[in-house]
Amino acid sequence: MLVSLTVGKVDAGVAVLLTQDNRLIEFPSVLLPNNITSGSIVDITVARNHSAEEASATGFQSLQKRILSTYGVKTPAPPILRLRNATQTSLVLEWEPIDLATASLKSLSLYRNGSKAGSIPRPLETRSTKISGLAIHTEYTFHLVLRTTAGTYQSEKLTCRTHKMTDLSGITVTAGVLPEQQKEALGAALDRIGGKLIDTVRIDTTHFVCTEGRGPLWEKAVDMNIPVVTPEWVDACEAEGTIVSVRGYYLNADPKARQLGPIHASTQHQRTMSTMTANTQSHIQSQSQNQSRLSLQPQPTRERPESIAEPPITPFPGAGMSGQPRAEDSEGPSDDEDEVPPPPPPKDESEDAESPEPTTNGHVEQNGEADVAETAASSEKEDKADNEEKEDDAQEKVDETKEEPSGDEVKKGKGKEGEGDFNEVPL
């Protein structure tokens, strides 16, 4: 196609061309002849280059395929988490190297039981972590969450459980400066209890065993806060069958500070309990002996609560009888034999002279028999002299509640009672 254009203006880099319908076209001046000036007419031929178009399209499609294979097919891989070592109170977790593909890393976080436990520092370099302060024989669930510019990827959940106190398989020992014979004995003891002996200090090293605190391994163990103990600690764990406290087995530690394990502690507890049982039995025997001795001594008279407010049932010379006898008093001769009856009230000679008192058989009592009753009462007072303090208290209570019955009450009581009502009451 041939086009005729008029040069309107020529600048250093761009020339302005005018069409016949007065349209402006900016054209590179370097493509025009050198002697072109304003007002010159130039012919420009325009043609389509098909081969160039095909080459450009081929190059574009190749670029798209390369981008797809690089960024669309290969993506970051989810992290793979696994358990490295477990003890009674700690877990050591490790994972495969992080594969980010062409993406950039944002963060790597560890989750425990569904909650975020923390972020992993330097995730491209760090491949393990140790979780301490866990509960004994408890199950936990962990998983990793990887965040990248290409998206977020999560590892599969890992379920693990801490060991029991009697499970010694989690003990991982690194040996320091030890005699060769003692080092062999240490390895044999660890094999018997199920522990492991490694040559280097790692994140899963639980104890560092040595007899002298020197060397690069010892320095690294101190920097990592790993307990440094003597070989006797492993022997104590084997003897006790459980994890023993390391306090008494540190280097330069006093052996007296070593605590007893469950076996020795239980033995001592049994001895203590047997000693306490023996002391208790001896104390009970001594108390029973004291009670038997006290039972041989005369016991003070114990008044029943019902008899405190009532006068004595057995009539005495010069005193009337009020109230009726109870069945428990009349039918319990054994109780009356053990208890000492209270002393008789003072005798009123005028009443004795005017009206005779009834006896247990309902007949008039003679003066001689009254004297016998008074003699018996005086002898009963002498028997109570051994327990004077308790008897005086009981006597005071009886004296406060007891009243002198009148002659009419005596007659009424005699009318209510039968002649044979007092046959079983001992005098």
Query: Which pTM value belongs to this model?
Result: 0.50
CATH class of the region 81-161: mainly beta
The kind and range of the H/E element at 296 are helix 262-296
Average pLDDT, the chain: 75
Tokens 């003066």 sit on residue: 367
Question: Among 335, 361, 357, which Cα is nearest to 345's?
Answer: 357
Of 166-170, 268-272, 278-282, the poorest mean pLDDT is in 268-272
Q: And the tokens for 355?
A: 């009206």
Q: And the tokens for 413?
A: 């009581």
Which CA distances in Å does 191 have to 104, 155, 339? 46, 34, 81
Domain boundaries, the chain: 2-45, 81-161, 172-257
Residues 6+ apart with CB under 8 A from 105: 98, 123, 124, 146, 147, 148
Q: How high is the pLDDT of residue 21?
A: 86
What does the alpha-carbon distance between residue 277 and residue 269 come to, in Å, rounded to a whole number? Answer: 12
Query: Model confidence over 206-257: pLDDT tens digits?
Result: 999 999 999 999 999 999 999 999 999 999 999 999 999 998 899 888 887 7
What does the alpha-carbon distance between residue 423 and residue 331 come to, in Å, rounded to a whole number? Answer: 11
Q: How high is the pLDDT of residue 44?
A: 85
Q: And the tokens for 118?
A: 């923390």
pLDDT over 70 percentage in the chain:
60
Query: Model confidence over 315-346: pLDDT tens digits?
Result: 444 444 444 444 444 444 444 444 455 566 55
Please, which residues bridge with residue 105 across strands? 148
> Between vectors from CA 31 to CA 25 and to CA 37, what angle results, nearest 5°?
70
Q: How high is the pLDDT of residue 286?
A: 66
Listing DSSP states for 178-210 in one string gives --HHHHHHHHHHHHHHT-EEESS--TT--EEE-
Fold of 172-257: Rossmann fold (3.40.50)
What type of residue is 275?
T
Q: How high is the pLDDT of residue 10?
A: 86
Q: How high is the pLDDT of residue 139?
A: 96
Query: pLDDT-based confidence at 204, cuts 50/70/90?
Result: very high
Q: Does residue 307 register a pLDDT over 90?
A: no
Q: How high is the pLDDT of residue 315?
A: 47
Residues 6+ apart with CB under 8 A from 189: 234, 235, 238
Which CA distances in Å does 245 have to 99, 203, 229, 266, 354? 42, 21, 10, 16, 99
Residues 6+ apart with CB under 8 A from 146: 76, 78, 79, 98, 105, 107, 108, 123, 152, 153, 154, 155
Tell me the average pLDDT across 272-284. Answer: 57
Tell me the pairing of strands 81-86 and 91-95. antiparallel
Q: How high is the pLDDT of residue 72?
A: 80
Query: Model confidence over 45-79: pLDDT tens digits?
Result: 888 899 999 999 999 999 999 988 888 888 899 99
Query: pLDDT-based confidence at 201, cuts 50/70/90?
Result: very high
In the three-class reduction of DSSP (H, G, I as helix; E, B as strand; rest coil), residue 143 is classed as strand
Q: How high is the pLDDT of residue 118?
A: 93
Query: Model confidence over 145-181: pLDDT tens digits?
Result: 999 998 999 999 999 999 999 999 999 999 999 999 9
